Structure 1
Amino acid sequence: MVRPRARAVHGTNFSREAHRYDAVRPGYPQAALDLLGWEWSELRVCDLGAGTGILSAQLLDLGAEVVAVDPDGPALSRNPAPYRLGTAEDTGLAAGSVDVVTVAQAWHWFDEAAAAEEIARILRPGGRLVILINQLDVRVDWVLRLSRIMHAGDVYRPAYVPAPAGFALRERAVVDFATPLDVDGIVDLARTRSYWLRSDETIRERVETNLRGYLSEEHPISGTVDLPYMCLAYVLDRL
């Protein structure tokens, strides 16, 4: 479990590697976004924990009216959507002001009880919460080994179901997909992980050496490889 103080510190660290984050972290598969069951173009959406805007950009492309909320100002400055500084527990948005709240790659950083209360407050009656979690597909043996070397921290099992108070699960899916990366890209992916961001240079050098050794000797990669992912997607109704 991530302690609240640790959430506050690590949750604002990602802007240090924002350029890499945007380059190597995957977007979210369309099948996961379609799980909502509504046309995004008709919706006002709060993208909560939006960071640099990987999901925000996709929602804008789908025609949604998006406001991005995050405590990390430098990360938000890269977000293409209108944004405001705020947290999952205190967004600063008006009550009943959005149709959908999306949380992509950020649910584990929240104080779930406080966040659920705030999300319910800003959603209109009948609004929905969408939680998206991209994870390396550790069901694949070589990816499991890779994730352990980089200390990926992908902690949710496919059977996981979020259950915040005041919400009821409507839909869920595990969507398999892949993103193309070469060895340098995989090393850059490790550099965007919280383990890397909070480690000293000695540990970082060890991780990079181990990664490059694994990808040249135990599981050799030449050129670009399709790195397997799974997206855990959930749609919850506000009660």
Structure 2
Amino acid sequence: MENGKLYLVGLGISDEKGTSLQGLQKLKECWKIYAESSANLLPEGTLARLEKLVGKPIEILSREQVEGEKEILQSASSAPTALVVSGDPMIATTHISLVLAAKKKGIQTEIIHASSILSAAIGESGLQAYKFGKTTTLAYWRENYKPMAAYDTIAENLSRGLHTLLLLDIDEKLGPMPPSEAARILLEMEKQGKKGMLTLETKVVLLQGVSYGGEQRKVFAPLLAFSQMSAMRPCVLILPGALHFLEEEFLQSL
């Protein structure tokens, strides 16, 4: 039998069919399989169908349990263990930390890559990949937590004529941030930052439910248009920088 090892297996951004054949084979070889709670945001029944494919139960862990690392590393220290994640495993800082912690304990690791919202969103937008600046996340604002990092990133990218991919927060209790909340936070940021970048008329790209199957929404419209939009599926926004005429033509076709 194989000694302890940790596999990080990406599900991609569709359903269980987004898992590679290599990923399925590794899961079948594992004694223990965990999945992040965020994987529940995949199409309904994805993890149940994945369990049938690999012939093993999958235990759901909260974000705090994954970040705590203890349970996963304890299992991986003695037997082949997998953490199943939506998207590509190494996009999230949490997973990089987990791999580093495993290596420090002498646990072998292997990454099974998959499709990511980073590449899918850029592709769906029709914007040129090399014209994107730093990607940032728009976090939910709370009474005592109102980060401005996303606003600063947008400002930096726009100053260089670059597009900004804005990932909208996914909270375990609140769920995916709806476009209406994203628009509200961006406009509140403008009130504080006062750089004159964002108004109700600022046009942005909304991509909702990209590659998740079912209903998708792709819109290029002013922030005002998002004021009543709810979140059917996880969303991303793209704030365009300087547009090539082909990019502009593609956006107008959305």
- Which bin holds the TM-score, normalised by the shorter protein? 0.3 to 0.5
Higher RCO (C-alpha under 8 Å, 6+ residues apart): 1
Q: Please, what TM-score do these two structures have when normalized by structure 2?
A: 0.37
More strand by share: 1
Q: Please, what TM-score do these two structures have when normalized by structure 1?
A: 0.39
